[in-house]
């Protein structure tokens, strides 16, 4: 038995040509945390037969779920974009631009050819966990001490022991830092009063189990999409409060730029303030702030509620 710490663990990913069929990892990257596991909905036998105890267990459905959290890396983001409910268009000849726009299909089976899911391999104390049929149900981009963060909420099929991979690491996997932001509210009008933001796309995926000769998820269903951008901003005028009251829409663009070949933009063409919370007066030394949640609304002019644009040196066929 090998004992150790989390420091020796690592994560690798690969696209699946056939949904749920394991593929050894081809891309490794550093993470901050992960919580992937195979969940089992085993049923207790609470039947009536003269006793008040559990009479035993019966095997139930299973599926994979959990989060992977990492620093924002423009060379890694496109991998997760390809297993979200979005259409990804690649342009350029290096660096490459990946433009993701929301799609409307309901099944993981509609993911692109050669990317029907993702195999995620996690190694802990030299034990190997191979998760298959993984898709992104929710993607979150936020900030921690000025550094952009990425969190992918994963839903998948099953887990099994696999061969131990040999990880390779890229020197270019360096995160963005402070001082690399441009926040535009509305788009093309940069503001300088944003203290924090969290952008979230939630496709509300659910594992689908069916009556057959296995327990794992047969496929993943995508549900109603929710697009939100939460911001904490300095309060100087009541313009945003008035916009909230009037249901006024505006476009928003948040761009993180490390270099001309390494940047990420979040674009919401039509955003409406769904909730507004302003500080109450309570502390003489407290900066007056307000917290806003913008909801992404479908825009008929662009046929999207949001888009992700990632410029990167990585090439995904």
Quick: pLDDT tens for 125-151. 999 999 999 999 999 999 999 999 999
In this prediction, residues 153-157 reach a mean pLDDT of: 98
Tell me whether residue 4 is in a domain: no
Q: How far is CA 151 from CA 72, 109, 110, in A?
A: 9, 23, 23
Total number of domains constituting the chain = 1
Q: Is residue 113 pLDDT above 90, yes or no?
A: yes
Q: Is residue 303 pLDDT above 90, yes or no?
A: yes
Residue 225, Cα to own-chain centre: how many angstroms? 13
By C-alpha distance, which of 233, 253, 211 is closest to 293? 233
pLDDT of residue 200: 98
In this prediction, residues 100-114 reach a mean pLDDT of: 96
Specify which residues 271 forms β-bridges with.
250, 296
Tell me whether residue 268 is in a domain: yes
In this prediction, residues 23-45 reach a mean pLDDT of: 97
Tell me whether residue 55 is in a domain: no
Tell me whether residue 170 is in a domain: no
The answer to whether the CB of 252 falls within 8 A of the CB of 246 is no
The domain in which residue 114 lies consists of 9-39+60-162+176-312
Q: What span, in angstroms and rounded, lies between the C-alpha atoms of 128 and 275?
A: 44
Tell me whether residue 258 is in a domain: yes
Q: What percent of the chain has pLDDT over 70?
A: 100
Q: What span, in angstroms and rounded, lies between the C-alpha atoms of 211 and 19?
A: 18
Model pTM score? 0.95
In this prediction, residues 201-212 reach a mean pLDDT of: 97
pLDDT of residue 2: 75
Tell me whether residue 317 is in a domain: no
pLDDT of residue 295: 98
pLDDT category of residue 94 using cuts at 50, 70 and 90: confident
Tell me whether residue 255 is in a domain: yes
Tell me whether residue 171 is in a domain: no
Q: What span, in angstroms and rounded, lies between the C-alpha atoms of 153 and 141?
A: 12
Each residue of 253-290: pLDDT tens digit?
A: 999 999 999 999 999 999 999 999 999 999 999 999 99
Q: Is residue 1 pLDDT above 70, yes or no?
A: no
State the chain's mean pLDDT as an integer.
97
């Amino acid at each position: 038995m090998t004992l150790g710490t989390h420091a020796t663990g690592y994560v690798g990913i690969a696209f699946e040509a056939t949904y749920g069929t394991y593929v050894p990892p081809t891309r490794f990257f550093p993470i901050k945390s992960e919580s992937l596991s195979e969940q089992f909905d085993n049923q207790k036998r609470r039947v009536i037969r003269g006793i008040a105890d559990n009479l035993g267990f019966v095997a139930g459905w299973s599926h994979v779920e959990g989060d992977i959290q990492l620093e924002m890396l423009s060379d890694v983001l496109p991998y997760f974009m390809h297993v979200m409910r979005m259409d990804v268009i690649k342009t350029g000849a290096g660096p490459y631009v990946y433009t993701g726009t929301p799609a409307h299909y309901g099944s993981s089976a509609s993911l692109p050819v050669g990317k029907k899911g993702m195999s995620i391999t996690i190694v802990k104390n030299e034990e190997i966990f191979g998760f298959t049929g993984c898709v992104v149900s929710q993607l979150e981009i936020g900030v921690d001490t000025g550094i952009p963060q990425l969190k992918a909420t994963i839903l998948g099929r099953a887990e099994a022991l696999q061969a131990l991979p040999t990880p390779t690491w890229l020197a270019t996997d360096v995160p963005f830092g402070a001082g690399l932001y441009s926040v535009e509210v509305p788009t093309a009008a940069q503001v300088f009063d944003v203290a924090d933001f969290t952008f979230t796309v939630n496709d509300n995926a659910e594992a689908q189990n069916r009556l057959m000769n296995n327990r794992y998820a047969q496929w993943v269903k995508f549900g109603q999409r929710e697009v939100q951008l939460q911001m904490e901003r300095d309060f100087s005028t009541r313009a945003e409060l008035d916009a909230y009251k009037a249901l006024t829409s505006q476009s928003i663009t948040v761009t993180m730029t490390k270099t001309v070949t390494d940047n990420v933009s979040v674009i919401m063409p039509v955003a409406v303030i769904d909730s507004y919370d302003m500080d109450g007066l309570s502390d003489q030394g407290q900066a007056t702030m307000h917290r806003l949640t913008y909801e992404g609304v479908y825009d008929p002019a662009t046929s999207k509620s949001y888009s992700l644009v990632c410029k990167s040196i990585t090439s995904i066929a």
